[in-house]
Structure 1
Amino acid sequence: MKDQFLIRKIVFLAVIASISACMQVFKDAFIYWQDGLLAEFWRLWTAHWVHVGWMHYFLNIAAFICLPFIFPRVSIWHFTALLLLLPPLISLSFYWFLPDIEAYAGLSGVLHGTYAAVACVHLMYKRERNFAAFVLLLILAKLVWENTAGSMDTAQLIGSPVLVEAHLLGVIWGIVLAGVYLAGSYFIQNE
């Protein structure tokens, strides 16, 4: 049973990475463009699955592939829910609260949100609590570093400025979604 779960995770990750790579070929049709975003609503999701270049793609996909192995309790269903909910939440936050952001491409905001959400939920498991707290501390330290010292090395590596607002929004929405999930789980268990 455990082998089947592992195989399903690997297939899931391979499918998502492949779809993202295919979208990368036609990235102009999928990136976030603030003008006309609501008329081309698919960009609410797809902007987070295309990247400014292949190096950017490989870095994000590597971090994406690591998550279910770092937190093995994450089910494909929960992972999918986060991957469906976080992109439009981040995109709509850009649209409504950060209208100066005209274009965006990349998975890093969703990655930050997914890691934060999964770590928050894993705080509830006694055996994983210390590791989950450590991951949340690393995320917080990264956010502080990016918003004070900057991320020029990463920008040089991917060939584009890093939109640290996406990382912050991803973490905020990830924590919100984790809170909703935990509250829902609590109410279901106590009925």
Structure 2
Amino acid sequence: MKTQFLVQKIVFLAIFVSLCACLQVFKDHFIYWQDTLFHDFWRLWTAHWVHVGWIHFFLNMLAFICLPFIFPRAAVWHFIAILLILSPLISLSFYFFLPDIEAYAGLSGVLHGAYVAVACVHLMYKRERNFAAFVLFLILAKLVWENTIGNTGTAELIGSPVLVEAHLLGVIGGVILAIGYIVGSYLIDK
């Protein structure tokens, strides 16, 4: 059973990374453009699956590939749900709450949310609790760092400013998803 679970994760990751790489080739058709967001509705999702450049792509894909192995209890459907829910949630938050953001590309907001969502759920398991709390602490420290000192090194590396608002929105969305999952699991068990 564990081998099948591992194979499912590897296949899922291969498909997602390949999809993102294909979208990257034509990224101008998939990034978040505020003016055309509702006309080109797919951008609600794809804006988070394309990147400003290939270095940005590789960094985010590496972080995403690590997630299912850092938290092995999470199933493939959890990651699919996170990608399908957080992406439009962040895009719509940009549109309605941060109208100054005219363009965006990158998975980092969704990544922050995914790590938070999965870590929050893993707080329920005694064996994973300390590690999950440590991951949450690191993400909180990163958010504080980015919003006080800045993130110029990453911006220089990827050749574009880092939109720390996406990270914060992802974390908020991740917490909401985790609460929904935990409450749903509790209600199903009752």
Aligning the two structures, in what range does the TM-score lie when normalised by the shorter sequence? over 0.9
C-alpha separation in 2, matches of 1:182 and 1:75: 15
C-alpha separation in 2, matches of 1:95 and 1:7: 38
C-alpha separation in 2, matches of 1:78 and 1:14: 16
C-alpha separation in 1, matches of 2:8 and 2:189: 28
C-alpha separation in 2, matches of 1:158 and 1:107: 13
Residue 35 of structure 1 aligns to a residue whose secondary structure is: helix
- Normalising to structure 2: TM-score of the pair? 0.99
What's 1:88 paired with?
88
Residue 92 of structure 2 aligns to a residue whose secondary structure is: helix
Residue 172 of structure 1 aligns to a residue whose secondary structure is: helix
Which amino acid letter does the alignment assign opposite residue 167 of structure 1? H
Which amino acid letter does the alignment assign opposite residue 172 of structure 2? I
What's 1:158 paired with?
158
- The offset of 1:188, in angstroms, is 1.2
Q: Determine if the alignment matches structure 1 residue 54 to structure 2 residue 58.
A: no
What's 2:186 paired with?
186
- The offset of 1:167, in angstroms, is 0.2
C-alpha separation in 2, matches of 1:122 and 1:184: 15
What's 1:116 paired with?
116
Count of paired positions? 190
What's 1:63 paired with?
63
C-alpha separation in 1, matches of 2:123 and 2:52: 34
Which amino acid letter does the alignment assign opposite residue 54 of structure 2? W
Gaps of 5+ in 2: none
C-alpha separation in 2, matches of 1:36 and 1:20: 21
Give me the identity figure in percent. Answer: 77
- The offset of 1:2, in angstroms, is 1.1
Which amino acid letter does the alignment assign opposite residue 68 of structure 1? P
Residue 41 of structure 2 aligns to a residue whose secondary structure is: coil
Gaps of 5+ in 1: none
C-alpha separation in 2, matches of 1:145 and 1:27: 29
1:150-170 Cα shifts (integer Å, max 9, x gaps): 000000000000000000000
Q: How does 1:91-106 map to 2 (within 5 A)?
A: 91-106=91-106
1:156-190 Cα shifts (integer Å, max 9, x gaps): 00000000000000000000010011111111111
- The offset of 1:103, in angstroms, is 0.1
- Normalising to structure 1: TM-score of the pair? 0.99
What's 2:170 paired with?
170
C-alpha separation in 2, matches of 1:131 and 1:2: 21
Residue 72 of structure 1 aligns to a residue whose secondary structure is: coil
Structure 1 residue ranges (4+ consecutive) displaced by more than 4 angstroms after TM superposition = none
- The offset of 1:5, in angstroms, is 1.2
